[in-house]
Amino acid sequence: MVQAADTDERAAAPGGADEALLRAYAAGDASAARAMAERFGPAAFRFALRLTNSRADAEDVAQEAMIRLYRAAPGWRPDGGQVTSWLYRVIANLATDLVRRRQAEPIEAALDLADGAPGAEAWLMARDREDALSRALARLPDRQRLAVVLRHIEGLTNPEIAAIMEIGTEAVESLTARGKRALAEALAGERQAIGYAEG
């Protein structure tokens, strides 16, 4: 059972519980697939959403990343890095590819209106302020956006981000600083565009 695996010594180490869960899944534990989905799924979706700026795309990306995690579980090596770092890296790659493909598509396809919305115009107006950040993020270069999301929204440390992006911590610091500055400028433009200051 998963609970038994959680008592393993390595479960006490950072990421140890995650690896124990993967081992339980690989061993055929019937509850492990659900436990993995609950543990990693919501965070995977949220991270993908910040990178794609689309709930439908985020769902696709997060689901594909989770399927890759399930597939990788039987061959998972404990010294191969943290599970969450691996998952974030997969999501970042999938989302980057998807965003690049989307940029080549007509703008209507990128609007991604949710099913059951009370009409495109009303939905867009209601979401304007919340979407200001997403739109500003979308304007950043890929690597800056990734670094800013990981640092300021996901709350990861610089070494964790460095592991995910496979760069040095100094490069992470530089990317997050430049990204945050660019994001603030983009948000200032968004505020003017949607009348945020008056709201």
Partner 1 sequence: MRKGKGMSEDGEFELMLARARGDESPPPGFVARVAAAGAAMQPAPEVEQAAMAGPRPASGFWTDLARAIGGWRGAGGLVTATVAGAWIGLADPGGLLMSAASAGTVELMPGTGDMFGTEVGD
Residues near partner 1 (CB under 8 A): 25-30, 32-34, 36-38, 41-42, 45-46, 49-50, 55, 59, 62-63, 66-67, 70-71, 74, 130, 132-133, 152-155, 183-184, 187-188
Please state the closest distance from residue 113 (CB atom) to partner 1, in A: 14
Instruction: Let me know: does 172 contact 158? Beta carbons within 8 Å.
Output: yes
The closest alpha carbon to 149, from 44, 61, 67, belongs to 44
Cα(164)–Cα(173) distance, integer angstroms: 14
Please state the closest distance from residue 37 (CB atom) to partner 1, in A: 4
45/166 with CB nearer partner 1: 45
Work out whether the CA dihedral 165, 167, 173, 178 comes out positive or negative.
negative
168/192 with CB nearer partner 1: 192
Instruction: Let me know: does 145 contact 51? Beta carbons within 8 Å.
Output: yes
28/119 with CB nearer partner 1: 28
142/185 with CB nearer partner 1: 185
Please state the closest distance from residue 104 (CB atom) to partner 1, in A: 26
Cα(164)–Cα(96) distance, integer angstroms: 14
Please state the closest distance from residue 79 (CB atom) to partner 1, in A: 21
Please state the closest distance from residue 42 (CB atom) to partner 1, in A: 5
33/110 with CB nearer partner 1: 33
Cα(94)–Cα(119) distance, integer angstroms: 30
Question: CA dihedral defined by 82, 85, 91, 92, rounded to 10 degrees?
Answer: -150
